[in-house]
């Protein structure tokens, strides 16, 4: 059971914290004070049972003193995540990360936002405890790190971002706070609107300066989504694409692999520099294809080019979107043309584009739409035990409706 300790003199913030914890499996101990303990032992000895997982230094406390206490906590009790409740500035972010602060929380945050952050801090505490155990590793079940899933299409307008956002949200249900979606359509990326986010920081901030060298600083530039995932959104100004190189993309993905179980990358259409850099790091590629001749031929050409370059990920997942029997093409025609089986077929749906337009992925709102079933099938392909399942006639399960 998660246990949280809050130190703050502000009753209103305490009320919101109580509401946040009430929706979680955990307990909250509050010290109503406008001063800090002299040492971690001063408040830990007042607790019964095991030490807490998260210490929240609430509003109304001196910032400098909070940072000093966080530094001591990081040295003496690294398995306890420290959250600092202060308005976020660049200076505070850097000081906090250097002091071992796990996260920053806006003093005006509502209970839902607080709950997401506490869940994230609890998972970090659990990861640290595993890391402190002999021979343990936070990513022990992932070998060299998390899975980099490149979501790709040869041309635009086939629903790539819709699939990418739903895939990230679906994976977040089984691996909360261990999934990040990266928008690498650097000129016209729609992940922010597709998830109804207004990010303070974008990928432009994440690939330069301290963030490119320190994963803790990098995490401060990610945006948290209510579905329990992180997002790194595209630049707000398309011109900024020129400031991001393929090498920076590779470095970014390597950093994220060390911190997350799943990195879902929504790439730009085509095979540009950033897409090729992504494929060099990708463990999986999800190919989105529409049920039209240009899209199908484009996918075939893309496969041929990448095969020649040696950049086809070992694990391929082909998604046929907007399927319709009246299109004049059969599934067998499409598979024969692209030279690869179709793994998932998503039927034409009115609900799916509507959910994208309102910024709530269909797998987030629990819709029973026919396309949701196919998206869940896609998510299942990335579960840890997928390769161990029997797959008799696996590809014949894709059915055009």
The whole-angstrom separation of Cα 358 and Cα 339 is: 36
Query: Is the Cβ–Cβ distance between 12 and 35 less than 8 Å?
Result: no
The reported pLDDT for the residue numbered 214 is: 78
Reported in sequence order, the residue ranges of 32-146 that DSSP labels E, i.e. its strands, are 54-57, 81-85, 103-105
Chain mean pLDDT for the chain:
85
Question: Quick one: average pLDDT of 38-66?
Answer: 90
Buried (b) or exposed (e) across 174-204, using 16+ Cβ within 10 A?
ebbbbbbbbbbbbeebbbbbbbebebebbbb
The reported pLDDT for the residue numbered 48 is: 79
> Is-above-0.85 flag for pTM?
no
The reported pLDDT for the residue numbered 390 is: 62
Band of the pLDDT at 132, cuts 50, 70, 90?
Answer: very low
> Which residues of the chain form CATH 3.40.50.300?
141-397
Beta bridge partners of 6: 30, 56
Architecture of domain 2-132: 3-Layer(aba) Sandwich (3.40)
Residue 289, pLDDT above cutoff 60: yes
The reported pLDDT for the residue numbered 264 is: 97
From the list 232, 229, 224, the residue with the least C-alpha distance to 205 is: 232
Least confidently predicted of 97-111, 179-193, 317-331: 317-331
pLDDT digits (tens, 9 = 90+) for 195-204: 999 888 899 9
The CATH fold of domain 141-397: Rossmann fold (3.40.50)
The reported pLDDT for the residue numbered 392 is: 43
pLDDT digits (tens, 9 = 90+) for 150-167: 999 988 888 999 999 999
Residue 350, pLDDT above cutoff 90: no
Cα–Cα distances (Å) from 83 to 65, 102, 157, 348, in that order, read 14, 6, 41, 45
> Which residues of the chain form CATH 3.40.50.2300?
2-132
Residue 256, pLDDT above cutoff 90: yes
The C-alpha torsion from 353 through 266 and 219 to 273, rounded to 10°, is -150
The reported pLDDT for the residue numbered 2 is: 58
């Amino acid at each position: 059971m998660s246990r949280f300790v809050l130190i703050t003199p502000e009753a209103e913030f305490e009320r919101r914290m109580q509401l946040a914890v009430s929706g979680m499996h955990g307990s909250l101990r509050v010290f109503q004070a406008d001063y800090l303990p002299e040492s971690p032992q001063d408040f830990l000895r007042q607790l019964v049972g095991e030490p807490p997982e998260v210490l929240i230094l609430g509003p109304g406390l001196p910032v400098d003193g909070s940072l000093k206490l966080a530094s001591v906590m990081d040295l003496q009790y690294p398995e306890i995540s420290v959250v600092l409740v202060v308005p976020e500035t660049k200076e505070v972010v850097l000081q906090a990360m250097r002091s071992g602060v796990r996260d920053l929380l806006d003093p005006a945050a509502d209970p839902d936002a607080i709950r997401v952050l506490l869940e994230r801090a609890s998972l970090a505490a659990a990861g640290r405890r595993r890391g402190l155990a002999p021979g343990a590793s936070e990513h022990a079940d992932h070998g060299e790190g998390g899975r980099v899933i490149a979501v790709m299409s040869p041309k635009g307008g086939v629903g790539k971002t819709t699939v990418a956002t739903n895939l990230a949200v679906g994976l977040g249900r089984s691996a909360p706070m261990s999934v990040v979606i990266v928008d690498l359509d650097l000129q016209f990326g729609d992940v922010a609107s597709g998830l109804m986010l207004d990010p303070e920081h974008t990928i432009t901030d994440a690939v330069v300066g301290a963030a490119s060298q320190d994963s803790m600083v990098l995490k401060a530039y990610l945006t948290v989504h209510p579905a329990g995932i992180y997002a790194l959104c595209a630049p707000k100004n398309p011109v900024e694409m020129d400031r991001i190189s393929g090498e920076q993309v590779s470095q970014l993905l390597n950093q994220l692999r060390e911190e997350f179980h799943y990195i879902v990358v929504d790439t730009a259409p085509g095979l540009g520099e950033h897409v090729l850099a992504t494929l060099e790091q990708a463990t999986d590629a999800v190919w989105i294809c529409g049920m039209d001749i240009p899209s199908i031929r484009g996918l075939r050409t893309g496969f041929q080019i990448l095969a020649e370059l040696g950049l086809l990920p070992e694990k391929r997942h082909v998604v046929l979107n907007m399927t319709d029997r009246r299109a004049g093409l059969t599934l067998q025609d499409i598979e024969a043309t692209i030279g690869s089986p179709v793994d998932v077929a998503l039927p034409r749906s009115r609900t799916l584009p509507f959910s994208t337009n309102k910024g709530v992925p269909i797998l987030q709102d629990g819709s029973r739409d026919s396309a949701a079933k196919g998206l869940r099938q896609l998510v299942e392909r990335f579960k840890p035990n997928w390769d161990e399942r029997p797959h008799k006639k696996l590809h014949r399960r894709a059915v055009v409706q």
